[in-house]
């Protein structure tokens, strides 16, 4: 019996080693011609449904199989000419830097439609232009709570989301929180700046493509032009003329001139952003989202003493980031279970913590913001973030 168990252990170790040997680790940085980083660029092999996005600093990490050695990586970003390189050739590069050339666009005002017409056509063609069949997104959901510009709390979930795309409305079909971890909670105001619903549902509620908008209520203006993957894009801003108290949600839409695809949306203040990328059929699905909010609260005398300040108010902010790591469209492989977190705060989700999972998980490269925030969390009492994970998540 003992020898049989030993055989099984050796077999598992052998399979693990072989699995690691069959993997190709693709990592690098995307820059423009001025050596500035390009955030949220799409990097992948669309025909194989393999891909990732660069982070805010232009860095990316993608794990492939050795079977992909002869496949072609495509690197695309709004405003730049799409670049292509064979995986084998990229791995041979000493400097794993990809330079994207800016695509200069100046649309003839005479040749384009009225801005409102583009918006109407974008919504009319939304189902045809996006992945609208049942699919699953594999998502890394990150949340930072910040007080007076210092990170005080961090949560991270790996989530599977079953959905039918923007035409499915504000609610997704299933949300399964597969794994999670959080830091120690150093906030003074613990209930003040965490959302009341799970962040993915909040993300959908403020998404102009999902929540739907009454087009007639807005004044639509062309504010710029750019391109994406060979298609000219017109940038159109809408300002709500009816519900002006909701102007913080006024949308800016990046719409393809020929296809009416919406490649990116943001609000006027640019503190809410959605990036979309193509699958092998040219249909779009969410690639990246973040939203950043802030407000001020009165400081109690007790908290003034704790903070050793005479300031009357404290600035509270939160930053939620959704990074789509992959998409599954094969219905036989859809396996997300519903964990019923739709109306649950992210911090209140009962989720298992597996340190081995996070150790082996292919996390995207850490951004400067992430590194800065983790450093601030560690500085509270001098406890490193991984120790916090181990102590808090038991």
How much is the average pLDDT of 313-320?
89
Alpha-carbon distance values, 287 to 45, 246, 362 (Å): 14, 26, 16
Q: How many residues does the chain have?
A: 394
Closest to 166 (Cα-Cα) out of 253, 50, 76: 253
pLDDT in tens, 270-305: 889 999 999 888 999 999 999 988 888 888 888 778
* Last residue within a domain, chosen from 100, 126, 148: 100
Residue 107 domain-assigned (yes or no): no
- Bridge-based pairing of strands 231-240 and 50-53 is unpaired
Structure tokens at 207: 């998404």
Residue 388 domain-assigned (yes or no): yes
Closest to 126 (Cα-Cα) out of 26, 260, 227, 293: 260
pLDDT in tens, 202-249: 899 899 999 888 999 999 999 999 999 989 999 999 999 988 777 778
Give yes or no: residues 91 and 25 share one domain.
Answer: yes
Mean residue pLDDT across the chain:
88
Taking the CB of residue 29, how many other CB atoms lie within 10 A of it?
19
Closest to 217 (Cα-Cα) out of 195, 191, 246: 246
Residue 310 domain-assigned (yes or no): yes
Asked if 182 and 347 touch (Cβ cutoff 8 Å), the reply is: yes
Separation CA 199–CA 342 (nearest Å): 9
Query: How far is C-alpha 250 from the geometric centre of its chain's CA atoms?
Result: 21
pLDDT in tens, 157-204: 999 999 998 887 777 889 999 999 999 999 888 876 566 788 998 899
pLDDT band at 376 (very low <50, low <70, confident <90, very high): very high
Give yes or no: residues 297 and 183 share one domain.
Answer: yes
Total domain count for the chain? 2
How much is the average pLDDT of 312-317?
88
Separation CA 329–CA 131 (nearest Å): 9
Give yes or no: residues 174 and 302 share one domain.
Answer: yes
Ranges 138-142, 298-302, 328-332, 354-358: which has the least confidence: 298-302
* Last residue within a domain, chosen from 77, 100, 123: 100
Give yes or no: residues 206 and 331 share one domain.
Answer: yes
Structure tokens at 50: 């393999």
> Largest alpha-carbon pair distance within the chain?
82
pLDDT in tens, 63-82: 999 999 999 999 999 999 99
Assign 3-class secondary structure to the chain: CHHHHHHHHHHHHHHHHHHHHCEEEEEEEEEECCCCECCCCEEEEHHHCEEEECCCCCEEEEEEEHHHCCCEEEEECCCECCEEEEHHHHHHCCCCEEEECECCCCCCCCCCCCHHHHHHHHHHCHHHHECCCCEEEEEEEEEEEEECCEEEEEEEEEEEEEECCHHHCCCCCEEEEEEEEECCCCCCCCCCCCCCCCHHHHHHHCCHHHHCCCHHHEEEEEEEEEEECCEEEEEEEEEECCCHHHHHHCEEEEEECCCCCEEEEEECCCCEEEEEEECCCCCEEEEEEEEEEEEEEECCHHHHHHHCCCCCEEEEEEEEEEEEEEEECCHHHCCCCCCCCCCCCHHHCCCCCCHHHHHHCCCCCCCHHHHHHHHHHHHCCCCCHHHHHHHHCC
Give yes or no: residues 181 and 55 share one domain.
Answer: no
Give yes or no: residues 52 and 132 share one domain.
Answer: no
Give yes or no: residues 210 and 324 share one domain.
Answer: yes
Give yes or no: residues 317 and 259 share one domain.
Answer: yes
Residue 108 domain-assigned (yes or no): no
Give yes or no: residues 85 and 147 share one domain.
Answer: no
Helix 368-379 / helix 385-392 crossing angle, nearest 10 deg: 70
pLDDT band at 9 (very low <50, low <70, confident <90, very high): very low
Give yes or no: residues 307 and 274 share one domain.
Answer: yes
Give yes or no: residues 67 and 148 share one domain.
Answer: no
Separation CA 96–CA 92 (nearest Å): 9
Give yes or no: residues 186 and 42 share one domain.
Answer: no
Residue 30 domain-assigned (yes or no): yes
Q: Side by side, which strands form the sheet with 218-228?
A: 174-182, 150-163, 135-147, 313-328, 284-298, 272-278, 262-267, 251-256, 231-240, 218-228
Any idea which residue has 């064979």 for tokens? 86
Separation CA 258–CA 118 (nearest Å): 10
Residue 20 domain-assigned (yes or no): yes
Range of the domain at 371: 115-392
Q: Which residues of 108-120 are buried (b: 16+ CB within 10 A; e: fewer)?
A: eeeeeeebbebbb
Separation CA 89–CA 69 (nearest Å): 9
Report the CATH number at residue 42. 2.60.40.1120
Any idea which residue has 């300040």 for tokens? 309
Residue 81 domain-assigned (yes or no): yes
Residue 231 domain-assigned (yes or no): yes
């Amino acid at each position: 019996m003992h020898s049989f168990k030993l055989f099984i252990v050796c077999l598992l170790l052998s399979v693990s080693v072989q699995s690691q040997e069959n993997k190709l680790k693709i990592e690098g940085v995307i820059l423009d011609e001025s050596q500035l980083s390009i955030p949220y660029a799409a990097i992948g092999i669309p025909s194989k449904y393999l891909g990732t996005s660069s982070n805010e600093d232009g860095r990316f990490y993608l794990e492939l199989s050795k079977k992909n050695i002869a496949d072609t990586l495509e690197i695309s970003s709004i405003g730049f000419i799409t670049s292509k390189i064979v995986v084998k050739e990229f791995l041979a590069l000493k400097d794993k830097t990809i330079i994207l050339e800016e695509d200069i666009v100046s649309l003839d005002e005479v040749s384009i439609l009225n801005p409102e017409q583009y918006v109407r056509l974008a919504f009319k063609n939304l189902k045809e232009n996006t992945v609208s069949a049942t699919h699953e997104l594999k998502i890394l959901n990150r949340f930072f709570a910040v007080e007076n510009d210092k990170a005080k709390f961090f949560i991270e979930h790996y989530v599977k989301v079953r959905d039918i795309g923007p035409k499915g409305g504000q609610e997704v079909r299933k949300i399964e929180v597969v794994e999670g971890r959080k830091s120690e909670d150093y906030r003074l105001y613990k209930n003040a700046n965490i959302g009341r619903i799970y962040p993915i549902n909040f993300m959908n509620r403020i998404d102009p493509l999902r929540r739907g908008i009454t087009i007639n209520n807005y004044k639509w203006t062309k504010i710029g032009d750019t391109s994406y993957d060979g298609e000219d894009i017109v940038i159109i801003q809408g300002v709500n003329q009816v519900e002006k108290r909701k102007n913080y949600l006024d949308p800016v839409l990046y719409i393809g001139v020929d296809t009416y695809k919406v490649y990116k949306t943001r609000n006027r203040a640019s503190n809410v952003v959605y990036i979309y990328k193509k699958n092998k059929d040219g249909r779009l699905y969410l690639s990246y989202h973040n939203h950043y909010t802030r407000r001020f609260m009165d400081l109690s005398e007790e908290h003034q003493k704790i903070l050793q300040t005479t300031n009357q108010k404290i600035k509270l902010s939160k930053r939620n980031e959704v990074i789509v790591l992959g998409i599954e469209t094969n219905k036989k492989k859809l396996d997300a279970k519903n964990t019923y977190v739709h109306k649950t705060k992210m911090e209140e989700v009962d989720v298992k913590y597996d340190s081995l999972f996070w150790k082996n998980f292919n996390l995207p490269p850490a951004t400067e913001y992430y590194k800065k925030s983790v450093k601030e969390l560690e500085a509270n009492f001098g406890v490193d973030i991984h120790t916090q994970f181990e102590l808090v998540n038991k």
